[in-house]
């Protein structure tokens, strides 16, 4: 089969959503028979197709494909999953990584938004392709919530809401989330409701350390809003300390 014939045969699959990526299993059986993997590999070597991962391809923009947003293939790369943490915070306009200044490397464990970070109930996984680098963190099914479909490219894909994105950041990076770290991140506090975050930290299966992260966030949020911080019923195990650097 010629490449232009393959492109024509793909249109019923791609046109309804306007996407330019496809997976081999979703191709019609007749088309899969006429286009073996060796042919897909040949078109990849010639630059007509972009291989995103095994059995997942995109039409090259130089050969009729639409330029892809790296975020729109995060879920197709590894399902089920949703975009979260720094990537989701940047998507919602809460985090601007260009403003982050961390000379001491206190946030070196935290992935920058240009590394597409997602959460999955499957095993932890990493991918790298022509669009960028992708990392998927395993999360217990009991905590796999807090995301909605958002427009990415020409279709909709699951992205954590702002509160769950911060919650996941706390969960997967067990560092001491002091106000100093929040000040380094320069998060947009107006978008994040402390009461919503507190209710999330009190849900079942949530480690106690996330409530500590929230208490420090509440302290930071109040400072940003010019409100005196007076936590209600602060747990006996929680201590607010004046430290020159966060604990690792």
Alpha carbon distance 153, 147 (integer Å)? 18
Per-residue pLDDT reduced to its tens digit, 48-77: 999 999 999 999 999 989 999 999 999 999
3-class state of residue 57 by DSSP: strand
| Prediction pTM value | 0.90
Question: Is 248 a residue whose pLDDT tops 80?
Answer: no
pLDDT of res. 6: 95
**Mean of pLDDT over the chain:** 91
pLDDT of res. 164: 98
Q: Which helix (H) or strand (E) holds 126?
A: strand 125-129
Per-residue pLDDT reduced to its tens digit, 190-212: 889 999 999 999 999 999 899 98
Domain extent listing, the chain: 3-63, 71-225
């Amino acid at each position: 089969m010629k490449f232009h014939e393959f492109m024509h045969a793909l249109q019923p699959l791609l046109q309804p959503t306007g996407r330019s990526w496809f997976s081999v299993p979703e191709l019609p059986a007749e088309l899969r028979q006429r286009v073996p993997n060796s042919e897909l590999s040949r078109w990849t070597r010639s630059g007509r197709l972009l291989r995103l991962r095994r059995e997942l391809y995109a039409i090259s923009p130089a050969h009729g494909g639409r330029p892809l947003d790296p975020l729109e293939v995060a879920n197709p790369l590894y399902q089920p999953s949703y975009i979260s943490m720094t990537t989701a915070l940047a998507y919602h306009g809460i985090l601007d990584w260009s403003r982050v200044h961390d000379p001491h490397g206190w946030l070196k464990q935290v992935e920058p938004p240009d590394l597409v970070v997602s959460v999955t109930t499957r095993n932890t996984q990493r991918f790298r392709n022509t669009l960028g680098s992708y990392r998927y963190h395993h999360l217990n099914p009991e905590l796999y919530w807090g995301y909605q479909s958002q427009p990415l490219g020409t279709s909709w894909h699951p992205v954590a809401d702002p509160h769950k994105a911060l919650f996941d950041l706390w969960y997967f990076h067990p560092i001491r989330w002091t106000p100093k770290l929040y000040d380094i991140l320069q998060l947009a506090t107006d978008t994040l409701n402390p009461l919503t975050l507190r209710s999330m930290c009190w849900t079942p299966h949530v480690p106690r350390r996330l409530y500590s992260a929230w208490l420090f966030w509440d302290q930071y949020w109040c400072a940003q809003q010019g409100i005196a911080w007076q936590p209600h019923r602060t747990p006996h195990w929680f201590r607010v300390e004046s430290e020159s650097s966060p604990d690792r």
